[in-house]
Structure formats: C-alpha cells, structure tokens
Amino acid sequence: MSCEKMEGRILGYLDGRLNESERLDAEKHLAACAACRLRVNEFRAVSGLLDELSVIEPSPEFDVRVHARVAAEPVKESWWAWLRISPRVAFAASMLLLAAIWMGYYQQPQQVQLPWNNPVEADAQMMQDLPVLEDHDVLSNFEPLKDLPGKADDDSDNVPQQQQPM
C-alpha cells in the first residue's frame, strides 16, 4: 500500500471502520512506514484533544421556548375535523340534507309522456295513422256497402221496412 492510499484510510482505521483485509493492509503499511505511523498517532491525538471540549447544557428557558413555539403553531384541521368538533350539528345537517333531497324527489309533478306533448312525435303518429284514415274514406264512399243492412239498433232508419209474415 502506498502512503497516499494510507492517507485515505487513516480515519477509517482509527474509527475501526475498515474491513478485515483493509485493516491488515493498513497495519502492514504502518509497520513499515514511520511517517504514516506518526500521522496516525497525531490524528489519534487530535481526536483525543477534541474530546476535551466541554459539553454545554441548554439554558433552563430552552424547553419553555420550544414548548411555547410549538403551542403557537396553528392546528392543522383536516376536512373532516368539523365532524369531530360537533357531531350533533353534523348529524342534524346530514338529516336536513337528506330530507331536502327526499322532498325534492317525491313532490316533483309527475309528467305523463304523451306523444302530442312533443310536436315532432305527434306528427310522426299522424303519419302512421294516414292509411287508416284513407281506408275509412274508401269504405265510407263504397256504394255496394251502402246496400248492406245496418245494425238493428243504430242503422234502423236506413234499412227498408220488411213485411212481417202473417
């Protein structure tokens, strides 16, 4: 291993984060290289010096201020939050809405769909009835049919009086 490569592994070596083969390579190099060995020792010394810095404690007001700032945060309400706030009001509103829908449905005037309500449909119906009307005209003007005896009840005036057998 070169000294340059060793430089890149010094911290990993000191932190114990090299894998087994890397660690063995590093130790082999350090055994043979006094300069790198010195540097490793000095890095270790730096790390030891950094341990000497004291730890400060947050001031007594720190937690109070955090709590105050958190408490001052606006509460995020979801869309359904109002249901949680007042379930009775929500229930009453729902019932009112259902009643309005029900009344609107059953009190609507029932419209009968007649063909003549729609002019287009009425015309179409008349066109379908034309053959019947034509047949009626033919039959009503057919002379031989006029000689036929009519019904007794309603055609009596048109039927000639017959002699009753003695």
Q: What angle do CA 72, 73, 76 make, to 5 degrees?
A: 140
Q: Which stretch binds another protein (CB under 8 A): 25-33, 38-46, 80-88, 140-148?
A: 38-46
- What's the rounded Cα separation, in Å, for the pair 36 and 27? 10
Q: Which stretch binds another protein (CB under 8 A): 65-73, 87-95, 125-133, 153-161?
A: 65-73
Q: Which stretch binds another protein (CB under 8 A): 51-59, 102-110, 114-122, 148-156?
A: 51-59
Name the nearest CA neighbour of 18 among 30, 50, 38, 32: 30
Q: Which is nearer to another protein, 58 or 119 (CB)?
A: 58
Question: What is the phi-psi region of residue 16: left when phi exceeds 0, alpha when psi lies from -120 to 50, beta otherwise?
Answer: left
Q: Which is nearer to another protein, 37 or 90 (CB)?
A: 37
Give the dihedral of Cα atoms 104, 107, 109, 110; nearest 10 deg: 100
Q: Write out the residues near another protein by the rule CB under 8 A.
A: 7-8, 10-12, 17, 38-39, 41-50, 52-59, 62-63, 65-66, 69-70, 73, 76
